[in-house]
Chain A
């Protein structure tokens, strides 16, 4: 596998470097034909500049990357841009331009769209956001991804763009929606309990080996629903890490013999509110 990451940092952007010319240069390089994985990092002040030019350049030069199987748009940290401020665009033209793609990861939900989500070979779709809009959720539900094995959605919070509700998530878990799906992540959500309760006895569980409900606000309420389910017993992995469950509930999971990851228990704010003196070093 050959992988390249392109990034235009603050300095480079100020110096006039642009992501579309970086993509063009890569497309003309000898390694382009063998490239299997491409990571697009910061394209320069992504809170202001959308990924439009990235999409345009990657579509234009798609013929130069015949081996590309894995694509990541927006791999940047808070040092470059807040995740919830990364400005995306309609990324579905990339799927049409790369029919052999197997894995597609997107970070940043602002202005994100997947208007025409059709791909016969895509196996992984991962969307990392601080808040995923219901429009995108409906576009995913309306899409056609017959070969999808892994769907991982960081749903986020109202403040950062999650304007949906459980009703917008349910279509994604309809039986037969993604016939080959084995990994479902509906995570990083502020309605994690509702999602857990809705999934606990959902038919989709029967086809999964992993259910990932991590990084959200899961509490004892959602956990009770999961524990009461017969269906979760067929899972090979249940990721509940980063949660707000009680010590008792964590102990129940440990005793259950189920393959649940209940690490990274969060405490109430009071415990975190320690103060430190100003002059300590």
Chain B
């Protein structure tokens, strides 16, 4: 079975936890290891074809190419959801998280530079908007690794979208019959919270109400104006392309006293002679001084930010939680309640993890969470897998809302479903749906 030798190609950082998890899952299931295409070399400009040829015997690649010549035409630049026929042996391309190393971050910021040559911004949901104070390729290359520092989020995201566009195009040339597990365009949309929430709302998925509707806030002044005029006194402001708790602020105005309060992981280093440096702090900070707050908030909006109603989350005894729910091909699998004593529940902020039942959700509420998560992924019809963050509101109504769709939200340690790790379960489902072959 020549085709079965190339069931899965991973674009990834080889050796990281995710890649290891996938390879381990495949080995447990008796599947051959996935081929790995390192982001590092892609970003150095090495073509996808060359990176694949290095790992594939010629015959196999030419087999794939030959198959692609006669293959199904759905797998071009905009492939549709996989069809059932003729799926055996077709290559599946899986994009993994581009995070985890400063070298990649720097290379992506360089790729997002205005002088990065002719680039394709078509996957960037708001590509026509300008990034603030852009860094040249050279300046980006000189960035120093400073722990937690948010060097240039919007230019990073532009670079990431360009990389996605490039691999999509290259794959369509050399492996036209191949399919994407999650289409690069969907990944770009999921990575931009503004677009994610638009798509979810358009698909009828319950989401926290966005502040400002079609005229969202663009800076500190308009934020405050809209909060007061819409009587939405408590909001989350989220860096559009932030991952996890990066660039998230829980912000509130007291309409009675005029006081304001922000809880966030964003830390600021102030300088006299140059602009402040913003970084992710491991400790939640509380800001109450307008001059500091306006600086942080304006910086966030300059890089693109999304503002939504702060839904009071369910909880008890001084903690609240949300649910990370894995969805694979329309089916809800692994889940974890992220329980925190703060409004920001991300796991690396020392949140505690529980099962949804331990966190206090009834069977019906758990069912509702799963249904909502499945509905959320279906708003991205070209994607098979995502980790959905679902809130359950406090009070008697206990409604569910989707706060985020994470294309790489399946790294959940020590959570099992149907006796499988997340990656094993994904591989099983992909096989069941004949998207990969054994």
User: Which residues of A come within 8 Å of B, CB atoms?
Assistant: 7-12, 42, 45, 47-48, 77-80, 82, 85, 87, 159, 272-281
Contacts and interface: CB of A to CB of B under 8 A. Distances in A.
B153 interface: yes
Given A47-B254, A275-B148, A10 B348 contact: no
Contact of B259 (A79, A85, A274, A280): A85
B280 A276 contact: yes
Nearest to A47: B254
Interface stretch (B130-138, B169-177, B217-225, B393-401): B393-401
A11 B242 contact: no
Contact of A278 (B148, B233, B347, B408): B148
Contact of A9 (B149, B243, B283, B312): B312
A275 B281 contact: yes
Interface residues of B, number: 54
B99 A279 contact: yes
B74 to A, nearest CB: 32
Contacts of A281: 97, 99, 243-244, 346-348, 406, 408-409, 411
Contacts of B1: none
Contacts, number: 124
Interface in B207-266: 233, 242-244, 246-247, 252, 254-257, 259, 261, 265
B100 interface: yes
Contacts of A47: 233, 252, 254-256
B147 interface: yes
A87 B254 CA distance: 11
Contact of B320 (A11, A79, A87, A275): A79
B154 to A, nearest CB: 13
The residue in A9, A47, A85, A281 that gathers the most chain B C-beta atoms within 10 A of its C-beta is A281
B281 A273 contact: yes
Interface string B302-315: 00000000011101
A79 B315 contact: yes
Nearest to A5: B396
A12 B397 CA distance: 7
B412 to A, nearest CB: 10
Given A273-B281, A278-B148, A278-B150, A11 B399 contact: yes
Given A276-B148, A280-B244, A10 B99 contact: no
Given A47-B256, A278-B242, A9 B394 contact: yes
Given A80-B394, A280-B244, 15 more contacts: A9-B393, A9-B394, A9-B395, A48-B233, A48-B256, A85-B254, A275-B147, A275-B281, A275-B282, A276-B281, A276-B282, A278-B244, A278-B247, A279-B105, A281-B97
A91 to B, nearest CB: 18
A12 B97 contact: no
9 contacts: A9-B395, A11-B395, A12-B395, A79-B320, A275-B282, A278-B105, A280-B243, A280-B244, A281-B97
Nearest to A275: B148
B320 A278 contact: no
A48 B254 contact: yes
6 nearest interchain CB pairs? Answer: A9-B395, A275-B148, A279-B99, A274-B282, A278-B246, A79-B312
A10 B308 CA distance: 14
B282 A78 contact: no
Nearest to A44: B395
A79 B98 CA distance: 33
A279 B252 contact: no
Contacts of A10: 311-312, 393, 395
B283 A278 contact: no
A278 B100 CA distance: 9
Nearest to B399: A11
Nearest to B409: A281
B343 interface: yes
A109 to B, nearest CB: 13
Contacts of A159: 288
A275 B147 CA distance: 6
B318 interface: yes
Contacts of A77: 312, 315, 318-320, 394
Nearest to B242: A278
The residue among A10, A80, A276, A279 with the most chain B CB atoms within 10 A of its own CB is A279
Interface in B402-427: 406, 408-409, 411
Contacts of A276: 147-148, 265, 280-282, 348
B267 interface: yes
